[in-house]
Each structure stands twice: as structure tokens, then as C-alpha cells.
Amino acid sequence: MQIYEEYLKRHSIGVSPVKHVSLGYLFFRESSDIGFQWTVLSIFWNEPDRSPGNYSIRFSTPIHDSRSAEMDLLRLDKRLSWDEYEEFFYDWALNCNKNKIISGQKQITLTAWEMFVFSHDTYFARTYKNMSDLFFESLDFNLSVENRFSSYQKIIKSFDEKLNPFKSWKSEINSYSKHYCHWLVDLIQK
């Protein structure tokens, strides 16, 4: 809790749970006939030189075996002015499926890992054959989150961070974790 949030709570001052962010992410996962499909909600603040800023809201999904961090756009970017932002997320949260939201730091990391492996699976199958059991364990939903996370950590420790695709993994996971919209999870789960 930030100090201003504690102050507002202590003095019973109601404030919108929607936070204006310059960069934010939220993950969804749902199962289908072909496995899992992930959706990434991205929020970007755009600050043009000669006009008021706006938000870009994007829904995308990882591209299978793309060997990149690029995502397929699922819907066109929605541009919102700053005064439309809160209302958009209040309305959107009402219609959002709570069961598909990813929350909790380890779950966020594991979901980002799932998408990363999905985008690089042929590379991993060819390059890390001796670690296939660890890869399967890190992705096995029949195992506990703790066991999956432990397998994930063992894999990560063996990677050379200077090689692609691990340079991008390091920067992406830090960005996803650092800018994950926990406030939006709270809003959806209310």
C-alpha cells in the first residue's frame, strides 16, 4: 500500500481504484480444444507533442513458434482520452470473466513463461532436449504452483542470458511483473 492510499483509507476518503498508468499489463488464460489460449491486455500512455495525451488499450495473444516477443493483435487498439479511461475500465470489469484472470506473482511469472515457451517451443525442443522433463514440469497444470515454479527456476538458472531469446525473456518478464495491473485484478474481482 502506498502512503497516500494508507492516508485515504485512514480518513475514509473514497477514491477510484482505477489507476492511471503509463504502461500496464494483465493476463487471461482459458482452455480450449487445442490447449490454452492466452490474452494479454496492454495499456500504453501516448504523449504527443502538440495535443493532449491518450491511452492505447490493446488485446493480443502470443504467436506460436514465432521466436519473438511479438504478439498477434486480437482487436484493434482502442484509443481513450484521459477522461474516458476510468469509465472504460469500470464498464469493462463488469463484463470480464473473473475465472480467466491471472493473479498472484508466481502465477503471473508462470503465465508469462507459458507464453514464452509457446512462442519458442521448437527452439527449446531442439536446443534443450536434455531438459525436456523440466520444461514439461514447468507447464504441467496437474502439479502445484510451487512445483511448477521450482522447475521454471531450474530452467532459468541454466540459461545463458546473453543469448537470444533469453535477453528478451529477461526484459519482458521484468516489464510484465513490474507493470502488472494488480489494481485491475482487484477491480474485476469485486
- Highest-pLDDT range among 2-6, 7-11, 137-141, 168-172: 137-141
At residue 161's C-alpha, the angle toward residues 171 and 172, to 5°, is 15
What is the mean pLDDT of the segment spanning 10-37? 81
What CA–CA distance (Å, rounded) separates 99 from 178? 23
pLDDT of amino acid 103 = 93
pLDDT of amino acid 137 = 96
Residue 1 reports pLDDT greater than 60: no
Q: What percent of the chain has pLDDT over 90?
A: 40
Cα dihedral 16, 21, 24, 26, rounded to 10, equals 10
What CA–CA distance (Å, rounded) separates 169 from 161? 9
Confidence of residue 24 (pLDDT cuts 50, 70, 90): very high
SS3 state of residue 28: strand
Alpha helix positions (H), 19-165: 82-94, 105-119, 121-127, 132-139, 145-158
pLDDT of amino acid 179 = 94
Q: Is 39:61 a contact under the CB 8 Å cutoff?
A: yes
What is the residue whose three cell numbers read 514464452?
116
At residue 128's C-alpha, the angle toward residues 133 and 154, to 5°, is 55
pLDDT of amino acid 15 = 63
What is the mean pLDDT of the segment spanning 28-38? 76
pLDDT of amino acid 2 = 66
125-166 pLDDT tens trace: 888 888 999 999 999 999 999 999 999 999 988 887 766 677
Q: Is 84:138 a contact under the CB 8 Å cutoff?
A: no
What CA–CA distance (Å, rounded) separates 155 from 39? 24
pLDDT of amino acid 112 = 92
What pTM did the predictor assign? 0.85
What CA–CA distance (Å, rounded) separates 43 from 25? 6
Q: Is 180:172 a contact under the CB 8 Å cutoff?
A: no
Residue 185 reports pLDDT greater than 60: yes
- What's the chain's Rg over C-alpha atoms? 18
pLDDT of amino acid 21 = 93
Confidence of residue 108 (pLDDT cuts 50, 70, 90): very high
47-91 pLDDT tens trace: 988 888 899 999 998 888 887 767 777 777 899 998 899 999 999
Segments making up each domain of the chain, as ranges: 11-189
What CA–CA distance (Å, rounded) separates 151 from 133? 9
Cα dihedral sign, 140-25-5-84: negative
